[in-house]
């Protein structure tokens, strides 16, 4: 009776407010609430206890199937505080005492609870969920969605630019697209993320534009050469972490990256790269990989993922089934990995299986062909030739291998659908339909959001794609959102509060310290003919040579901190007479080379010729490989060679500190360095110290 009276009253109140022109939201929202549920009671939701803490959220469930973070009149309680206490925000803290407690939440009308038991002798926390149809939030949400809303959850476009201008603030046209196509997420790029406050405001505006469910706001913040935030902490990158051999460091880096993204409102990272870089000629992965060794990639990848997860940030392993043994950049062409399934399981697939077993949220596909897994052919729209179907569009790879064989239950996201390997050979709509039919849950950066959305609608209406197929993906996407607390709140934090937090977290001294530590541990001394560490007097002349276009000017700046009189020669090719005159009289030459492809380190490549020219002067030469470690293969007679695996300032600082003896090199090669004839020059795990 009380509920009926309450319902009639709120209906009358809503009508009265509508008649008088007063906004409806509070009254209408209250009348539509039908339950209050703890998110961890939802069957699909999993959450780890981290440092004796477990985050719980109270969700209001509405008549139309949507759910939101409950914000007002929410009271949490623990039945046994000796076992665990709970904060007003639902953060459970375990005391370490054995026993069982019920954590309950109430809003005055509805109530829910969950059981938590701690078994100290087994060091186990057992969470016992409540059961019943009331917890089928995801099923209910899907049942109440239109077909167009379901498709929208699977679309993740980029709005890098709009009408030729970088998108740094929300505009009405983009907000309308988010609403009209019910978008499930967006991806941000460097063009969108200029400052901490601007990025926070842009992200908040995206979430405001989403009508029902929180948006996945994703970004490629791998660290190292692929970093998108213009402010913040870059970190040295994966291969640098591979050189440290430290899972602890990898976890700290992942956590720092996650904390910065979380502070900006970015909730999904497209990292880590789990490709095994066993092909030195790979033009697109290289130092984005931890190593050529599958076990090391798996260990460090899982540590990095753990760090991200500790911050509530969704992690994405890429590029499945493996982009490491390729010699073509899939941004511009279609590459092939020729190996059979046994070899793939030993090498390429191994780190992905480790990540799946550890609970990775999402896996990104590779626009690469794997003919031993799927030899299906298609006719290229580029030139009419017969081509192999890449993994992104392959049912045998995404559903057969990843889902059925390897048991992955999380979200499959495509690599960017506008990349050459896809866009040149398959039309935008055809590629999108193929990817959905193959088993992809999220289409990243579809070419032409309106055309692709309408193309999928038509495919569903014609029966080419079943609505059941859409619902499988939407369930996985909503599960990810609930797992990572990506749910719209009834009352959001103020924008000022979000911005203040972002300023405090992004680029913090603590994160810069982690970056510095990782960079210093990564420096690998590959060769040293009794030259390093340098012992120089004030009068000694040191010359630093290398192209500013390759950031070698940063190395010169760091050298000058140790030796203010150092001379910098900005060159990336054979030195002319004037430049050679600047080198004359030097006691030591430090040269930085930067290559990203096999062509860059060919014997006749300009930087390699320049370095050998310096060696011929008879002055001791210390070379620094500023990116890929393989450069020394073209200047083997150098007196000393260090690798830093990336061009960010922290890595140049660590290299200079090592050259002058302020940092003892401890890094070990995560890859093998070969001679041009294919023989081994320096083996995996090689590394010298002082």
pLDDT in tens, 533-570: 999 999 999 999 999 999 999 999 999 999 999 999 99
**Is pLDDT at 388 greater than 90 in this prediction?**
no
Phi-psi region of 92 (alpha: psi -120 to 50; beta: other; left: phi over 0): beta
The partner residues of 673 in beta bridges, in order of sequence, read 682
Structure tokens belonging to residue 15: 């009508």
Whether residue 227 contacts residue 506, with contact meaning beta carbons closer than 8 Å, is answered with no
Write down the mean pLDDT value for the chain: 92
Secondary structure letter of residue 161 according to DSSP: E
Q: Rounded to two decimals, what is the model's pTM?
A: 0.92
Structure tokens belonging to residue 343: 């070899």
How confident is residue 122, by pLDDT bands cut at 50, 70 and 90? low
Whether residue 488 contacts residue 212, with contact meaning beta carbons closer than 8 Å, is answered with yes
**Is pLDDT at 205 greater than 50 in this prediction?**
yes
The partner residues of 55 in beta bridges, in order of sequence, read 91
Whether residue 647 contacts residue 665, with contact meaning beta carbons closer than 8 Å, is answered with no
Task: Tell me the per-residue pLDDT of 74-83, one tens digit each, with 9 for 90 and over.
Answer: 999 999 999 9
How confident is residue 325, by pLDDT bands cut at 50, 70 and 90? low
Contacts of 579 (CB under 8 A, 6+ apart): 545, 569, 571
Which tops the pLDDT comparison, 370 or 635?
Answer: 635
Contacts of 16 (CB under 8 A, 6+ apart): none
Mean pLDDT of 326-339: 64
Q: What percent of the chain has pLDDT over 90?
A: 82
Q: What distance in Å separates the CA atoms of residue 573 and residue 341, rounded to the nearest whole number?
A: 44
The pLDDT, as a whole number, for residue 51 is 85
Nearest CA to 242 among 671, 673, 689? Answer: 671
Structure tokens belonging to residue 601: 């380190």
**Residue 9: enclosing H or E segment and its boundaries?**
helix 2-20
**Is pLDDT at 21 greater than 60 in this prediction?**
no
Give the CB-side neighbour count of residue 396, counting CA atoms within 13 A. 13
| Least confident stretch, 103-117, 222-236, 269-283, 345-359 | 269-283
Whether residue 153 contacts residue 184, with contact meaning beta carbons closer than 8 Å, is answered with yes
The pLDDT, as a whole number, for residue 327 is 57
Q: What distance in Å separates the CA atoms of residue 431 and residue 447, rounded to the nearest whole number?
A: 10
Task: Tell me the per-residue pLDDT of 125-166, one tens digit each, with 9 for 90 and over.
Answer: 999 999 999 999 999 999 999 999 999 999 999 999 999 999
Give the number of other CB atoms < 10 A from CB of residue 497.
10
Structure tokens belonging to residue 152: 């929208």
Structure tokens belonging to residue 659: 């050259």
The pLDDT, as a whole number, for residue 283 is 63
**Is pLDDT at 16 greater than 70 in this prediction?**
no
Structure tokens belonging to residue 419: 């990349």
The pLDDT, as a whole number, for residue 30 is 55
Phi, psi of 668 (to 5 degrees): -120, 140
The pLDDT, as a whole number, for residue 119 is 87
Widest pairwise Cα distance in the chain: 97
Q: Which of helix, strand or coil describes residue 53?
A: strand
Mean pLDDT of 39-60: 94
Q: Give me the active site residues, please.
A: 331, 415
The pLDDT, as a whole number, for residue 334 is 63
Q: What percent of the chain has pLDDT over 70?
A: 93
How confident is residue 17, by pLDDT bands cut at 50, 70 and 90? very low
* Helices within 78-230 (DSSP H only): 137-143, 147-153, 172-180, 196-209
The pLDDT, as a whole number, for residue 328 is 55
Which tops the pLDDT comparison, 480 or 71?
Answer: 480
DSSP code per residue over 400-468: IIIIIIT---SEEEPSPTTSHHHHTTS-HHHHHHHHHHHT-SBEES-SSHHHHHHHHHHHHHTTSS-HH
Count H helices, E strands: the chain? 22, 32
| Least confident stretch, 172-176, 403-407, 420-424 | 420-424
**Secondary structure E strands in 151-254:** 155-156, 161-162, 165-166, 185-188, 216-219
The pLDDT, as a whole number, for residue 6 is 40
| Least confident stretch, 280-289, 395-404, 455-464 | 280-289
**Is pLDDT at 333 greater than 80 in this prediction?**
no
**Is pLDDT at 383 greater than 90 in this prediction?**
no
**Is pLDDT at 273 greater than 50 in this prediction?**
yes
For helices 196-209 and 172-180, give the axis angle rounded to 10 degrees.
Answer: 40
**Is pLDDT at 4 greater than 90 in this prediction?**
no
End-to-end CA distance of the chain: 82
């Amino acid at each position: 009776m009380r509920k009926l009276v309450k319902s009639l009253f709120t209906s009358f109140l809503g009508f009265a407010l509508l008649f008088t022109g007063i906004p409806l939201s509070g009254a209408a929202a209250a009348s539509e609430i039908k339950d209050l549920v703890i998110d961890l009671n939802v069957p699909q939701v999993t959450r780890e206890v981290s440092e004796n803490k477990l985050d719980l959220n109270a969700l209001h469930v509405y008549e139309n199937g949507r759910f939101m973070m409950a914000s007002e009149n929410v009271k949490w309680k623990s039945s046994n505080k000796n076992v665990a206490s709970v904060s007003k925000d639902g953060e459970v803290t375990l005391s370490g005492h054995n026993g069982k407690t019920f954590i309950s939440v109430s809003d005055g009308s509805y109530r829910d609870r969950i059981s938590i038991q701690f078994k100290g002798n087994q060091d186990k926390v057992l969470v016992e969920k409540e059961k019943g149809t009331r917890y089928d939030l995801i099923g209910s949400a899907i049942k109440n969605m239109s077909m167009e809303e379901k498709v929208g959850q699977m679309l993740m476009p980029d709005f890098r630019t709009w009408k030729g201008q970088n998108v740094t603030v929300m505009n009405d046209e983009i907000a309308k697209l988010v609403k009209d196509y019910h978008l499930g997420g967006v991806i941000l790029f460097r063009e969108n993320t200029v400052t901490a406050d601007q990025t926070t405001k842009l992200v908040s505006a995206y979430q405001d534009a989403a009508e029902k469910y929180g948006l996945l706001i994703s970004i490629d913040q791998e660290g190292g050469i692929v970093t998108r935030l213009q402010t913040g902490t870059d970190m040295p990158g994966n291969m640098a972490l591979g050189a440290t051999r430290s899972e602890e460091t990898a976890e700290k880096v992942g956590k720092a990256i996650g904390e910065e993204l979380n502070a900006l409102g970015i909730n999904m990272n497209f990292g880590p790269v789990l490709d095994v870089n066993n092909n030195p000629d790979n033009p697109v992965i290289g130092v984005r990989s931890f190593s050529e060794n599958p076990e090391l990639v798996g260990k460090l990848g899982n540590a990095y993922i753990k760090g991200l997860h500790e911050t509530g940030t969704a992690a994405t392993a890429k590029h499945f089934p493996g982009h490491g043994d390729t010699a073509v950049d899939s941004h511009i062409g279609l590459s092939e990995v020729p190996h059979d399934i046994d070899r793939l399981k030993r090498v390429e697939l191994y780190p992905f299986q480790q990540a799946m077993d550890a609970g990775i949220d999402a896996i990104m596909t590779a626009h690469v062909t794997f003919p031993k897994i799927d030899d299906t052919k298609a006719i290229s729209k580029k030139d009419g030739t017969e081509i192999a179907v890449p993994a992104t569009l392959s049912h045998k790879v995404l559903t057969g291998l990843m889902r059925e064989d390897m048991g992955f239950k999380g979200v499959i996201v495509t690599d960017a659908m506008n990349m050459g390997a896809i866009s040149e050979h398959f039309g935008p709509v055809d590629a999108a339909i193929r990817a959905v039919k193959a088993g992809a849950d999220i289409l990243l950066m579809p070419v032409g959001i309106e055309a692709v959305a309408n193309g999928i609608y038509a495919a569903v209406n014609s029966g080419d794609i079943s609505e059941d197929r859409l619902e499988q993906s939407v369930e996985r996407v909503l599960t990810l959102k609930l797992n990572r607390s990506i749910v719209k709140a009834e009352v959001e934090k103020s924008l000022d509060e979000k911005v203040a937090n972002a300023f405090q977290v992004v680029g913090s001294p603590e994160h810069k310290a982690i970056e510095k530590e990782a960079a210093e541990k990564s420096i690998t001394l590959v060769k040293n003919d009794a030259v390093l560490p340098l012992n120089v007097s004030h009068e000694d002349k040191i010359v630093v040579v290398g192209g500013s276009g390759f950031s070698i000017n940063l190395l010169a700046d760091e050298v000058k901190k140790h030796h203010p009189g150092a001379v910098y020669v900005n060159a990336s090719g054979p030195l002319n007479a004037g430049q050679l005159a600047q080198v004359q009289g030097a006691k030591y030459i430090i040269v930085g080379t930067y290559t990203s492809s096999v062509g860059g380190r060919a014997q006749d490549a300009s930087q390699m010729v320049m370095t050998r020219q310096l060696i011929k002067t008879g002055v001791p030469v210390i070379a620094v490989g500023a990116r890929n470690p393989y450069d020394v293969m073209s200047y083997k007679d150098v007196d000393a060679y260090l690798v830093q695996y990336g061009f960010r300032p922290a890595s140049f600082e660590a290299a200079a500190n090592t050259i002058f003896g302020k940092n003892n090199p401890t890094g070990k090669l995560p890859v093998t360095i070969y001679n041009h004839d294919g023989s081994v020059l320096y083996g995996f795990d090689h590394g010298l110290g002082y």
